[in-house]
Amino acid sequence: MAAATGLSSTLAMLDGRNRDVDNGSSLSSGSEDPRTPENRKESKVGKPPRHLSVIRRSVNTGCLEFDFASLALLSPPEEQIGFLPVFRSGSCSEMGPKTYMEDEHVCIDNLIEYLGASVKFSSPGAFYGVFDGHGGTDAASFVQKNILKFILEDSHFPASVDKAIKSAFIKTDHAFADSHSLDRTSGTTALTALVFGRSLLIANAGDCRAVLGKRGRAIELSRDHKPSCNNERLRIEKLGGKIYDGYLNGQLSVARALGNWHMKGTKGSACPLSAEPELQVTVLTEEDEFLIMGCDGLWDVMSSQCAVTIARKELMIHNDPERCSRELVREALQRNTCDNLTVVVVCFSPDPPPRIELSRSRVRRSISLEGLHILKGALDSDV
């Protein structure tokens, strides 16, 4: 029963230690705030987009096998106290102006139902991921099919979920290197969201981004790993890497990725191109309405606040996360993104976002609601 006790205490700590704090969160690697301006990307203007033909990618539930030994020891508590999210998701992928599609994604609103086992977590569970491939589709496809399996089968799971996720990223990267039938030179960024009850664990390696919509305000939960970012540049240079015109060793526009083994040394050795993710844990509250996960094709042409404003407006109209993701993709295409597009929208309530009422005595008529959120975010970031 040791495993069950370990998970119960871990989930209780993650899910309950900050019940009196709105969105208590922590970033496990690095000291910089991902919302600071130096870590944001400038918009790019590319070729006009082609026609909008939505490509849906789904996960084959039969391709994953799990060891349920530790999971079977779990039992749900008799009574759930306080707010518990209800997971609803939708996704949209579009090739955009490129000649082929390299993105992959995964949406699992109910882990128990997806795994098909007679086991129960102590809290509702869900898993989401966006994988932006480059140099071919092999790496993105491999990571999409295997990352969750490596998380659940890791020796640290379920006693230490954060260590399990970090270990799973590295193990997935190594397993891809050992797969002789695949192109080891292809690579992918990886952004995942694992949710247990109110505890949202974001893991990111690359330049995909996760943004939380909190009563209309955008809260960035991941940092874009660009070679020019100060933390990444220092790490790269310390390990002997070089940055040429914003590219790692003149080849890659991201500082962290899985795959790309032509740029890495032997397995286990430190190298400028890292597969280790940054983690951030957030305790969800009733004010947290939805999560947007997108590849850089979205963020190259749209700010985090703009995406949240569009998504919230759409959800207030139809309350459909899939239609919402399609609208974000459509808007990015209209803004002439020059990359593949993948967007996942996860809602935490069955109800649409409520209308925000502003007191006229406190807000001037000359400032819009979006402008107010941008100003507040700038002040919080000490800009």
Please report, for the chain, the start and end positions of each structural domain, with discontinuous segments joined by +.
21-30+48-71+80-351+368-380
| Whole-prediction pTM | 0.77
Higher pLDDT, 309 or 159: 309
* pLDDT tens digits for range 162-186: 999 999 999 999 999 999 899 999 9
Asked whether the predicted pLDDT for residue 45 surpasses 50, the reply is: no
Q: What pLDDT is recorded for position 59? A: 43
Asked whether the predicted pLDDT for residue 47 surpasses 60, the reply is: no
Bond prior to 158 in cis (omega within 30° of 0): yes
Determine the angle formed by the axes of helices 304-318 and 321-334, rounding to 10 degrees: 140
CATH architecture of 21-30+48-71+80-351+368-380: 4-Layer Sandwich (3.60)
Q: What is the DSSP pairing of strand 288-294 with strand 258-259? A: unpaired
Average pLDDT score over residue span 356-382: 67
Rounded-to-integer distance, Cα 144 and Cα 23, Å: 28
CA atoms within 13 A on the CB side of 15: 24
Average pLDDT score over residue span 121-130: 87
* pLDDT tens digits for range 24-44: 455 555 444 544 444 444 433
Q: What angle do CA 101, 277, 39 make, to 5 degrees?
A: 80
Q: What pLDDT is recorded for position 83? A: 84
Q: What is the helix (H) or strand (E) element at residue 314, kind and residue range? A: helix 304-318
Please give the single-letter amino acid code of residue 330.
R
Given a contact cutoff of 8 angstroms between Cβ atoms, the answer to whether 257 and 188 are in contact is yes
Closest to 258 (Cα-Cα) out of 120, 132, 151, 70: 132
